[in-house]
Structure 1
Amino acid sequence: MTMELRHLRAFLAITEEGTITRAAARLHTGQPALSRTLRQLETHLGVRLVDRSTHHLELTAAGRTFRERAAAALAAVDRALDPRSLASLPLRLGHPWAALGDLTVPLLRRWDEEHPDVPLELRRVDDRTAGLTQGTVDVALLRGEVTAPGLVTELLMEEDRVAVVPAGSALAARDTLTLADLASSPIALNTVAGTTTLALWPASGRPTETIEVTNTDEWLTAIAVGRAVGISTSATPRLHTHPSIVYRPLTDAPPVPLVLAWRSGTPTHPAIETLVRLARELVAGL
């Protein structure tokens, strides 16, 4: 027979109350049923836990040892099933690049001040959903269209696009740039988590050469050494300065949505709603 938590609770009630009668009343069950539960537990363990030969029940040596184990096991289960205990778990915030831009540090500082009992862990994950669909983070800051199924999104803002070009190039000498200005150069495309595709350009004027990279570091390097130009959002210049890279406003490209995303239909971290409210508050203050 499979043992259940009720067997442990029944045994502990008997040890605490001292008689089957009082234990049965405490558990709101009948004495015969409680006696059967105790016998089932003893049969499963292969030892006698309670000495029934005296007027008052007494634990055997095996019963005293098992009492400690049963109490520890039930305490662990109760803690695991208590939703309040989840509040102390770290809240893992993923992002593939740029996080919340120049609001990243204010977000982390405000969180530490207002919610010291819930660590907020910022994790960069080079993935389209920053590890959200794999379960490695609880919530993610994502840019562009979010197409992965089973996710809930909250729009925080729309970021302007910027052109990213090598310092010292002819393009770097311009105050602003257009998509057409970039079309004659190789375009660095982050194929894992980027928001730039050739679909930004009209079919008749698309770049003919691209360089594919898989993360932000490779993307920055390709531009810095003069192999390509790139397109990003206004959040990137604030987090990624480089002496060999220049950022210029891109005047004719649509903005990029920035969203907070989390999984739907499964148990989620109870602090996600609090994080959403704080992020909205910080964005509203811009």
Structure 2
Amino acid sequence: MDDPSLRDLRAFVAVVDHATFTDAAIELGVSQASVSRAVARLESSLGVPLLRRTSRSVSLTPAGRTSLVHARAVLDEVDLLRRSLREPATTMRLGYAWAALGRHTAVVQQRWRQEQPDTQLELVHSWSATSGLVDGLVDVAIVRTEVTDPRIESSVVGFENRYLAISSDDPLAQRRFVRLGDLDGRVVAVDPRTGSTRQPLLDVATSTLDVRGVEEWLNVIASGRAVGITAEATKWVHARPGVAYRPVRDADPVAVRLVWWQDSPPPGRAALLQILREAYAR
């Protein structure tokens, strides 16, 4: 069975966006038959029907709805890659996977613009363990876990306190702070790919619930299905109705690291390191 191609994914998304094969073909600049074949190939590759077709309309099957989310994500990543390759050398791409620099984000951007007026600092979101560095999407990246890849060099720029994220109607939300022992018997939502919650923090939990990215993490917490342990930056960047953040008094702080390829540190790395350290020092 062949893997789905980008052409087939684009045809599928275009049909959904335009609700007809004819209009999708016009947007893509191909024939209607070509679009039909592309969608059929994708369905064959995935082994499930994605669309319900009638003489008057096209609608998504349950599998189609799930596939559409991932198809859009794949195409967005490819478009981001193409744009990154077209960017001039006067751009420093800073990757992040979770909450950028929290409350320091705007300060760092403003200082960079003042001190490095000839180079643009572009923040790039990437759902990967190295925040897009190994994927080739960025020049440097912010991570909140230890990177063990020997090809990658890192430097700690600061520390952030840990916070508990809970449903706003949870009894713990009435407290000013919590302790790790308060999580005994709780389900903790964890993003195993990019999250900063690792053992031994999870020793107090009854079980964990794996999630993909901050949006899914916030959704399961707001619904009361789980709680979350996170770095302070999340509180500043991802305020959400129905979710409360409370400091965890006895949890070790999170080290915030800047990472880059050891054999090819980008120009401007030293200047960015200084700005980041000074921002966290305040």
TM over 0.5: yes
Structure-1 separation of matches of 2:89 and 2:244: 43
Structure-2 separation of matches of 1:108 and 1:224: 31
Name whichever of 226-235 and 178-187 sits farther off: 178-187
Q: Please, what is the CA RMSD of the aligned residues?
A: 1.7
Structure-2 separation of matches of 1:201 and 1:213: 15
SS at match of 2:215: helix
Which structure 2 residue ranges, 5 or more long, are not aligned? 1-86
Partner of 2:272: 275
In the TM superposition, residue 226 of structure 1 has moved relative to its aligned partner by 1.0
In the TM superposition, residue 87 of structure 1 has moved relative to its aligned partner by 8.7
Contact in 1 for aligned 2:159/2:280 (Cα 8 Å): no
Residue 194 (structure 2) pairs with residue 197 (structure 1): no
Partner of 1:179: 180
In the TM superposition, residue 251 of structure 1 has moved relative to its aligned partner by 1.3
Partner of 2:54: none
Structure-1 separation of matches of 2:260 and 2:277: 15
Structure-2 separation of matches of 1:268 and 1:155: 16
SS at match of 1:283: helix
Distance of aligned partners of 1:283 and 1:175 in 2 relative to their CA distance in 1, 3 Å threshold: closer
Matches within 5 A, 1:201-240: 201-202=202-203, 206-240=204-238
If the length of structure 2 is used for normalisation, what is the TM-score?
A: 0.66
Structure-2 separation of matches of 1:171 and 1:91: 42
Identity across aligned pairs (percent)? 38
In the TM superposition, residue 197 of structure 1 has moved relative to its aligned partner by 2.5
The Cα offsets for residues 181-228 of structure 1, whole Å up to 9 and x where unpaired, read as 1121211001110111342244xxx32222101101111111011111
Structure-2 separation of matches of 1:263 and 1:218: 30
In the TM superposition, residue 178 of structure 1 has moved relative to its aligned partner by 1.4
Name whichever of 120-129 and 271-280 sits farther off: 271-280
Which structure 1 residue ranges, 5 or more long, are not aligned? 1-85
SS at match of 2:200: helix
**AA aligned opposite 2:244:** V
Contact in 2 for aligned 1:88/1:117 (Cα 8 Å): no
Residue 142 (structure 2) pairs with residue 170 (structure 1): no
**AA aligned opposite 2:206:** T
Contact in 2 for aligned 1:152/1:261 (Cα 8 Å): yes
Contact in 2 for aligned 1:87/1:118 (Cα 8 Å): no
Larger Rg: 1
Structure-1 separation of matches of 2:190 and 2:158: 23
Contact in 2 for aligned 1:87/1:269 (Cα 8 Å): no
Matches within 5 A, 1:46-57: none
Structure-1 separation of matches of 2:244 and 2:254: 20
Distance of aligned partners of 1:254 and 1:166 in 2 relative to their CA distance in 1, 3 Å threshold: same
**AA aligned opposite 2:99:** A
Matched residue count: 196
